[in-house]
Amino acid sequence: MSVFLSEEQQAVFETSHEFGAEKIAPFARAWEQAGEIPKSLWPELAALGLGGVYVSEDHGGSGLSRLDGVLVFEALAMACPSVAAFLSIHNMCGGMIDRFGDESAKAQWLPRACSMETVFSYCLTEPGSGSDAAALKTRAVRGDAGYTLTGNKAFISGGGYSDAYIVMCRTDENISAMIVEDGTVGLSFGGLEDKMGWRAQPTRAVQLDGCLVPHTNLLGEEGRGFAYAMAGLDGGRLNIAACALGGAQAALNATLKYMGERQAFGQTIDRFQALQFRLADMEVKLQTARVFLRHAAALLDAGAVEATKFCAMAKLYVTDVCFDVANDCLQLHGGYGYLADYGIEKIVRDLRVHQILEGTNEIMRVIIARQMVAAT
């Protein structure tokens, strides 16, 4: 791994991994059973600079690159993909404010985001507009006192838990981005979703019934929200892929340990050549996924024309490969893999959604193919 990283980047990975191993991994199952990540965790992560990974140092952030970011989230996801993914969503929001907000908005929101005094969630998906995000119906009407928001958002990680929400909404015929704080009159939440995976982070519908927010809560320019959302999703797709990679790597590490201890027919099962071949195939898959992901992150950092296509390709390839690896690891554990005590079934459940969110992998194929055709 270190051959591709500078000393500073290796330190970023190791620091994140050590934190996850000490502060997250021992409690991941309990948090899943409770259905909530304790809020006391976030200031500890913020103290490491992980509350504002993509926020400039001028506003309290770490000012890290996208390549640095995928290292952070891969390392943390080795402890728990659900926790790492939730942190990545908060950081996507912080990065959007830093990139698109005016100086007043940055001063208002970013210090609290970086300290994680204010935890952010992202509200794009609606009951009738998932993959077709541009068809969203939530509306913001401008008035003298501010914007009045009406609509419903679905599948929101942190719904009813987070302190503020970046909400994509329609202003006239265009889409804008608004920041809605928890406690705003007219803001409410649906019931807790009972999910297959990511059970440690609460997911609810976010309902906006005449929510009045100040004009200053408009993020960037009115009517530019869809462009902001799509730009944010490039980085979000890398982060979700990184979380899948960390989870799959943790599953493979656990499987190697298990196979070195499990006896069958007079020897440990890691001595059977057929099973060794499966281990080799999984190692190749994860290493190629890692190189591909880091390459896509480097392209996004460089502002390359093809960055969006490569982010889509990395999200598609890495999340598919990593789910397959985790599922194979469960198989190699036999019946024990199906038991919660061994931790593999949780990883399989957590990673399944990575093939769906931040744009389904079917939509990733659409993005890739369209860019290929446009280039001819």
User: Is residue 177 domain-shared with residue 296, that is, in the same domain?
Assistant: no
Domain boundary among 175, 208, 224: 224
Domain boundary among 118, 152, 169: 118
User: Is residue 113 domain-shared with residue 235, that is, in the same domain?
Assistant: no
User: Is residue 218 domain-shared with residue 253, that is, in the same domain?
Assistant: no
Report the alpha-carbon angle 261-263-266, nearest 5. 135
User: Is residue 349 domain-shared with residue 318, that is, in the same domain?
Assistant: yes
Domain harbouring 66, CATH code:
1.10.540.10
- Phi and psi at residue 184, in whole multiples of 5°? -65, 135
Domain harbouring 149, CATH code:
2.40.110.10
Of the candidates 204, 151, 139, 149, the one whose C-alpha atom is nearest the C-alpha of residue 181 is 149
User: Is residue 89 domain-shared with residue 139, that is, in the same domain?
Assistant: no
Q: Which member of 32, 74, 345, 358 is catalytic?
A: 358
Using the CB atoms, write b or e for 145-156: b if 16+ within 10 Å: ebbbbbbbbbbb
User: Is residue 128 domain-shared with residue 257, that is, in the same domain?
Assistant: no
Domain harbouring 364, CATH code:
1.20.140.10
- Would residue 74 show up in a list of annotated catalytic residues for this protein? no
Of the candidates 281, 253, 340, 234, the one whose C-alpha atom is nearest the C-alpha of residue 77 is 253
User: Is residue 138 domain-shared with residue 181, that is, in the same domain?
Assistant: yes
Instruction: List the domain range (segments joined by +) for residue 44.
Output: 2-118
User: Is residue 348 domain-shared with residue 325, that is, in the same domain?
Assistant: yes
Looking at residue 1, its pLDDT comes to: 39
pTM tops 0.85, yes or no: yes
Domain boundary among 118, 152, 180: 118
One digit per residue, the tens of pLDDT, for the chain of length 376 reads 334 789 999 999 999 999 999 999 999 999 999 999 999 999 999 999 999 999 999 999 999 999 999 999 999 999 999 999 999 999 999 999 999 999 999 999 999 999 999 999 999 999 988 888 889 999 999 999 999 999 999 999 999 999 999 999 999 889 999 999 999 999 999 999 999 999 999 999 999 999 999 999 999 999 999 999 988 899 999 999 999 999 999 999 999 999 999 999 999 999 999 999 999 999 999 999 999 999 999 999 999 999 999 999 999 999 999 999 999 999 999 999 999 999 999 999 999 999 999 999 999 999 999 999 998 8
User: Is residue 81 domain-shared with residue 202, that is, in the same domain?
Assistant: no
User: Is residue 262 domain-shared with residue 319, that is, in the same domain?
Assistant: yes
Looking at residue 133, its pLDDT comes to: 81
Query: How many domains in the chain?
Result: 3
Distance from C-alpha of 63 to C-alpha of 66, rounded to nearest angstrom? 10
Q: What is the 3-state secondary structure (H, E, C) of the chain?
A: CHHHCCHHHHHHHHHHHHHHHHHHHHHHHHHHHHCCCCCCHHHHHHHCCCCCCCCCHHHCCCCCCHHHHHHHHHHHHCCCHHHHHHHHHHHHHHHHHHHHCCHHHHHHHHHHHHHCCCCEEEECCECCECCCHHHCCCEEEEECCEEEEEEEEEEEECCCCCCEEEEEEEECCEEEEEEEECCCCCEEECCCCCCCCCCCCCEEEEEEEEEEECHHHEECCCCCHHHHHHHHHHHHHHHHHHHHHHHHHHHHHHHHHHHHHCEECCEEHHHCHHHHHHHHHHHHHHHHHHHHHHHHHHHHHHCCCCHHHHHHHHHHHHHHHHHHHHHHHHHHCHHHHHCHHHCHHHHHHHHHHHHCCCCCHHHHHHHHHHHHHHCC
User: Is residue 195 domain-shared with residue 236, that is, in the same domain?
Assistant: no
Distance from C-alpha of 161 to C-alpha of 156, rounded to nearest angstrom? 10
Q: Which amino acid appears at position 185 of this protein?
A: V
Looking at residue 255, its pLDDT comes to: 98
User: Is residue 87 domain-shared with residue 213, that is, in the same domain?
Assistant: no
Q: Which two tokens stand for residue 179?
A: 């920041």
